[in-house]
Amino acid sequence: MNQTNIALLGFGVVGSGVYRILTENHDDLNHREVLDLHVTRILIRDAANVRDFALAPQELFTADYGEILNDDSISIVVECMGGVEPARSFILQALRAGKSVVSSNKEVISKHWHEFDAEAKARDAGLYYEATVGGGIPILRTIMDSMQANNITRVMGIINGTTNYILTKMSEEGLDFDEVLHEAQSLGYAETDSTADVEGYDATYKLSILASLAFHAHLPVSVIPREGITKLSRRDFAIARQLGYEIKLLAIGKKHGSQIEVHVHPTMLPKTHPLAAVRGVFNAIFLTGHAANDIMLYGRGAGSMPTASAVVSDIICAVHRAGRHRYITFANAEELSTAVQLLENYESRFCARLLVEDAPGVLASVAGVLAKHNVSLRSVLQPGESDTTDARLTLLTHNAAAQSVRAALAEIAGLSCVRAVESLLHVEE
Ligand code: HSE
């Protein structure tokens, strides 16, 4: 049996997990997969990011990428550094050297996929990135290797664990966003700089990869409208609870013929929806295929061993498929695929919360503006706050064009009887 030599780029949370699995499970993998996998080099550029120096022999560590690139015995480079540079350059250089690349880095894959894909095809090298979406959940290979019979029409995912942890706490403990964020940061569940998570960037990187594979068309990050969770308040959760909903940060993709909609935002989901039951740091992805109908995959979307599980699965694929790697077959240019149209004015149900003057005719004025924009109301709630001259109106719409709803609310915000449009949330059923 030939030995496969592997280089790890980065030895933080993910890299150290990959090393552990490849060494601790070496004999099992050898027996089950008939493979002899060895990490022979570990690139570390910043010792501060190294999780556990004692885990691997010191002679494996190097700060010089040239030692990996020029080592012909290394056939697989595993990039788990995160960020765009130098990860992008290192991946391109590895592919140009004819090495297969496995990456867990959703940002670099989603932003530079077209470059990597072209280089991999030109060099007959493998390019694998299962760990970029949903951590330990085998979602990408499920789409590519198990759902081929389907025209996938919908993907809806909770694909960011940090925000799901925060939203679960806000929902279950009635806390505000800032309180939960600080607690999550002090417990190490959220990064000190949590922008990528709480503003929804991380979810857009993942949705770009997920929806492109599901709908077989490149949907770049740049076309995905994004809204994070920072504006949510305990009042949003109180209303959602009263109406029988949870609030989740959802990454949504839907295909209607050649039209595709993709968006990331906080969404009200009925408590009975399977995604509403996904609590804490867990992730889940709900897919609808024309043949399989609905399926949902659930698991840990981050963490050392779950993410390493996906990376090692990719390494095994890369070795088994050497010389006959499979590549995506849709045109993978930097821009949106020309084969599809982006549906920007998609339809959805919405829930708007207004602070208004408590006076006769206010509801009629608000309803009049909605009617003018062709937005139909499903229900209206006005919880009693009779000791003030203001009232809070919660409006639930039927399916309506997103741009019409936003235009209507902009006009409503300008009515003299309206103090503020306090929130606008998508609603999925
Ligand atoms: N920051 C990500 C999350 C980790 O919270 O889900 C893995 O992508």
Distance (Å, whole) CA 156 – CA 180: 25
301 lines ligand 1 (CB under 6 A): yes
pTM score of the predicted model: 0.96
Quote the tokens at residue 367: 């309803």
105 lines ligand 1 (CB under 6 A): no
Q: Among candidates 199, 251, 252, 193, which has minimal Cα distance to 228?
A: 199
Amino acid at 284: A
161 lines ligand 1 (CB under 6 A): yes
pLDDT for residue 1: 78
Residue 114 phi/psi, 5-degree rounding, is -60, -40
Query: Tokens 């996938």 label which residue?
Result: 152
Q: What is the number of the ligand 1 atom nearest to the C-alpha of 302?
A: 7
CA 291 and chain centroid, separation: 25
Which residue has its alpha carbon closest to ligand 1 atom 4?
302
Å from CA of 218 to ligand 1 middle: 22
14 lines ligand 1 (CB under 6 A): no
Å from CA of 379 to ligand 1 middle: 36
Q: What is the pLDDT along the chain (429 residues), one digit of tens a residue?
A: 799 999 999 999 999 999 999 999 999 999 999 999 999 999 998 888 888 889 999 999 999 999 999 999 999 999 999 999 999 999 999 999 999 999 999 999 999 999 999 999 999 999 999 999 999 999 999 999 999 999 999 999 999 999 999 999 999 999 999 999 999 899 877 888 999 999 999 999 999 999 999 999 999 999 999 999 999 999 999 999 999 999 999 999 999 999 999 999 999 999 999 999 999 999 999 999 999 999 999 999 999 999 999 999 999 999 999 999 999 999 998 999 888 999 999 999 999 999 999 999 999 999 999 999 999 999 999 876 656 789 999 999 999 999 999 999 999 999 999 999 999 999 999
Å from CA of 39 to ligand 1 middle: 25
Q: Among candidates 4, 98, 80, 143, which has minimal Cα distance to 311?
A: 80
pLDDT for residue 384: 67
Distance (Å, whole) CA 213 – CA 332: 11
Å from CA of 99 to ligand 1 middle: 27
Q: How far apart, in Å, are the Cα atoms of 367 and each of 345, 395, 410?
A: 21, 10, 14
Residue 36 phi/psi, 5-degree rounding, is -120, 90
Amino acid at 366: V
pLDDT for residue 140: 98
Distance (Å, whole) CA 202 – CA 199: 8
197 lines ligand 1 (CB under 6 A): yes
